[in-house]
Structure 1
Amino acid sequence: MHIGNVYAMLGAWLSAHAGDGSESGKVLLRIEDVDEPRSVKDADKWIMDDLHWLGLDWDGEPVYQSQRTEIYEEALQALKSVGVEDVTSADAVSKGSSTSADFPLVYPCFCSRADLRAATAPQEGDRFLIYSGTCRRLLAECPNEVRSRLEEGRRHSWRIAVPEEGSQGSIVTFDDRVFGHQRFDLPLQVGDTVIRRSDGIFSYQLAVVVDDLLMGVNDIVRGRDLLRSSALQVWIRRALIASGFAAEYGIGIDGTIAENGKTRTVRGENAGRGFGDSSDGGAASAVNPAHAHLPLIDDPSGIRLAKRKHSLDIGALRANGVKPEQVIGYCAWLLGVRPPDRVHDLDTSAPIAMSAREALHCFTFDDIRADNSDRILAPNWTDEVDRPENGSVA
């Protein structure tokens, strides 16, 4: 982990535990290693060791995406069974069944990486690539050609289609607790997206939505560079419901499941396959989770933090004698946490060493919303963290 990962994890941890205690939620740990060829051996152990050192605990056993490919395959097959209009139709969503023979929701894409680089440009800020639609047009205009290529065994990925410009369902909106109301035009700002690569590996976008649904995730906290991805994931989530995939796991369109004639809020791993206790009820729906996207952290030169800057790895910081309270205190300061007796302007107040539990007493998204500009990491940030004489900020 690096300091940016800790900042985001702390935000999620504080969000889950904020409240009066009776409303405190759970933090779930998911190891997103679906791209196994790129996974680093023992990285999961390093992550968990860092989290323990930082005092950022979680509930239950970690979930490994590399062990869930059969579930992702089920989801893909379900999505292949419906069309785009099925997702935009309220009746289809409520029934979880196909009602029309419109354009397929998922279609094969034969474009190579070189083709994509030539036809696609990255969007500002989040490196999101909007597909030009080459294979979508091919399927619409020459379906026999597509069929022939598939029969020949031509290498291909699978893309999920979004509604056409100006059509029903083409606009996705959601409210973000930091950046406010969000509105995305799916065909213009997102485009058709790969959900399984040509090498058979499932995409991050599909895997996280499937897992969020089945794990009952109803509170998502992450960097602002994923705002556009959130719009895409809203669309994929609707598609999984319309296809009947969610219903197969007992998940209703409102994020509830029916059990012995009673309705309860989705919690735990999945209904009928090991859902945890949901007696608390009334929680935000896993179908429509709450979102909070955090400002990003740039290095002192204004460049976004990257994993290649090993000096910011938690392992390197630990080896240099940095204390966990220094790391948590600085990340809490970046999140706008200001102890009542140390409230100053964001640019001049000094961060204070503290534990996550201590930061919880002073945390609110209002502080981040008041200044949602990206943060700049000070060159010698560990030297700027003050420790109160009494050792507590509560």
Structure 2
Amino acid sequence: MSDAAYRGRFAPTPSGPLHFGSLVAAWASWLEARRHSGAWLVRIEDLDPPREVPGAAEAQLRTLARYGLLADEPVVRQSTRHGAYRAAVEALLDAGLAFHCSCSRRQLAASAGIHRRCLVPVDPNRFAIRLRVADAEVCFDDRLYGRCCEAVGRDCGDFVLLRADGLYAYQLAVVVDDAWQGITDVVRGADLLWSTPRQRLLQRALGLPHPTTLHLPLVLDPQGRKLSKSDGAADIEREDPCSVLRAAWAHLAQPADRLSGCRSVSELHVAAQQHWDCTRIQPAALPEATRNVIDAV
């Protein structure tokens, strides 16, 4: 299979070191890009300084390099892209598709954080900017999970694009940057599957293309929870890369014997590219808790 127009990406948040779940997503997205003779990009999603760990971004890039995962183009950091996000917000405001709001988390508690209307007058000194969301369902076709639909107005409401503290929301930034970088295919963990309907709404509102999605089954800890950098999931930087890559290959339901005889990272990559088949991956239950997001100023 060859598609020179294919452009994929891996976009970690610098809230801690890369863990095994991160490596699974990174390698799968890299393999899909290589399978389609396309480009693989890395974008650091450093939108929220209070949540960042100093030096985490550099450590993540160092770990990716140790595992042989090097971006085909210069790494982009979202902290340098605020002008583009501001332009997108202003375009939505000008079109009447977004609005200013001073509702607090506490004021939205009665609706479980779902914003359907402003409860207070806008405070000119403290407000967020939200997207206007209609009641209609948003549907998309995921390459693993098939047809997925969500009533974003019911489950999320009018979600935040720019927080009252001046920080841009993930949903806005990822849509703007995927379009700017020409991303055609998004391969990521299934915990982000229910972000896709909100991103589709933003793409429609901004007149941007919809990348194809492939959401991967999550790597879970012994308690059945998603591995998380912020929760101290084990750092893979000092692990044996060949062993970790073999474990990732197994998690992705690929036959172990396809990598037999490989003794180095480069040999593993060569064999993996030859035998990678994403259709072997089986969908797991989606984490429903990710659908409702308490989103306030």
TM over 0.5: yes
Given the alignment, which residue of 82, 86, 89 partners 1:69?
82
Give the alignment partner of residue 133 of structure 2, picking from 143, 162, 179: 162
Checking the alignment, whether the CA contact within 8 Å between 2:249 and 2:256 is kept in structure 1 is: no
The one-letter code of the counterpart of 2:115 is S
Distance 1:46 1:341 in 2: 30
What residue in structure 2 maps to residue 106 of structure 1?
Answer: 98
Q: 1:353 to 1:176 in 2, by over 3 A?
A: farther
User: Does residue 293 of structure 1 match 2:215?
Assistant: yes
Partner of residue 141, structure 2: 175
Q: Kindly indicate whether the alpha-carbon contact (under 8 Å) linking 1:329 and 1:353 is maintained by their aligned counterparts in 2.
A: no
Q: For structure 2, which runs of at least 5 residues remain unmatched after alignment?
A: 1-17, 287-297
Aligned twin of 1:346: none
* Alignment correspondent of 2:91: 78
Letter in 2 for 1:9: A
The percent identity for this pair of structures is 36
How far off is 1:360 after superposition?
2.0
**Which residue is equivalent to 2:186?**
220
Query: Does the 8 A contact of 1:328 with 1:353 survive in 2?
Result: no
Change (3 A) 1:374 1:327: farther
**Alpha-carbon distance between aligned partners in 1 of 2:193 and 2:41, rounded to the nearest angstrom:** 21
Residues 1:326 and 2:297 aligned together: no
Contact 1:16 1:25 in 2 (8 A): yes
Give the conservation status (yes or no) of the 8 Å contact 1:173–1:183. yes
Secondary structure of the equivalent of 2:182?
Answer: coil
Residue 64 of structure 2: which of 40, 51, 64 is its match? 51
- CA–CA distance in 2 between the matches of 1:210 and 1:58? 20
Report how far residue 113 of structure 1 moved.
2.5
Residue of structure 1 aligned with 2:52, choices 36, 39, 42: 39
TM-score (norm 2): 0.82
The aligned amino acid for 1:361 is: Q
Could you say what secondary structure the match of 2:70 adopts? coil
Q: Which amino acid in 1 is paired with 2:166?
A: G
Letter in 1 for 2:202: I
Contact kept? 1:10, 1:356, Cα under 8 Å: no
* Aligned-residue CA RMSD (Å): 2.4
Match of 1:347 in 2: none
Distance 1:341 1:34 in 2: 39
CA distance in 2, matches of 1:358, 1:342: 6
How far is 1:357 from its partner?
Answer: 3.0
> 1:333 & 1:304 partners in 2: Cα distance?
17
State the partner residue of 2:171.
Answer: 205
One-letter code aligned to 2:249: A
- SS where residue 174 of structure 1 aligns? strand
Superimposed CA distance per residue, residues 256-313 of structure 1 (whole angstroms, 9 cap, x where no aligned partner):
xxxxxxxxxxxxxxxxxxxxxxxxxxxxxxx121100111111123222122454611
Q: Which residue of 2 aligns with 1:269?
A: none
Look up the SS of the partner of 1:159 in the other structure.
Answer: strand
User: Number of paired residues?
Assistant: 265
SS of equivalent to 1:114: coil
The offset of 1:340, in angstroms, is 5.7
How do 1:1-394 and structure 2 match up within 5 A?
1-19=18-36, 24-82=37-95, 104-116=96-108, 118-121=109-112, 131-135=114-118, 146=121, 149-150=122-123, 153-163=124-134, 165=135, 170-241=136-207, 287-310=209-232, 312-315=234-237, 318=238, 322-339=239-256, 355-368=268-281, 371-373=282-284
Runs of 4+ in structure 1 off by over 4 angstroms are 339-343
One-letter amino acid of the structure 1 residue matched with residue 174 of structure 2: V
Query: Which structure would you say has the larger Rg?
Result: 1
Q: Does the CA-based 8 Å contact 1:196-1:203 persist in structure 2?
A: yes
Shift of the 328–107 alpha-carbon distance from structure 1 to 2, 3 Å rule, reads: same
Amino acid at match of 2:146: G
Distance (whole Å) between structure 2 residues aligned to residue 302 and residue 159 of structure 1: 34
The Cα of 1:109 is off from its aligned counterpart by 1.6
Asked if structure 1 preserves the Cα contact closer than 8 Å seen for 2:20 and 2:236, the reply is yes
For 1:176 and 1:353, locate their aligned partners in 2 and report how far apart those are by CA, in whole Å.
Answer: 33
Question: Which whole-Å deviations, capped at 9, do the CAs of 1:214-238 have from their partners, x for residues lacking one?
Answer: 1100110111121111011011011
Note if contact 2:161-2:172 (Cα within 8 Å) is conserved in structure 1.
Answer: yes
Structure 1 counterpart of 2:60, one-letter code: I
Q: Distance in 2 between matches of 1:360 and 1:120?
A: 48
Q: CA deviation at 1:154?
A: 3.8
User: Residues 311 and 197 from structure 1, CA distance in 2 versus in 1: closer, same or farther, beyond 3 angstroms?
Assistant: closer
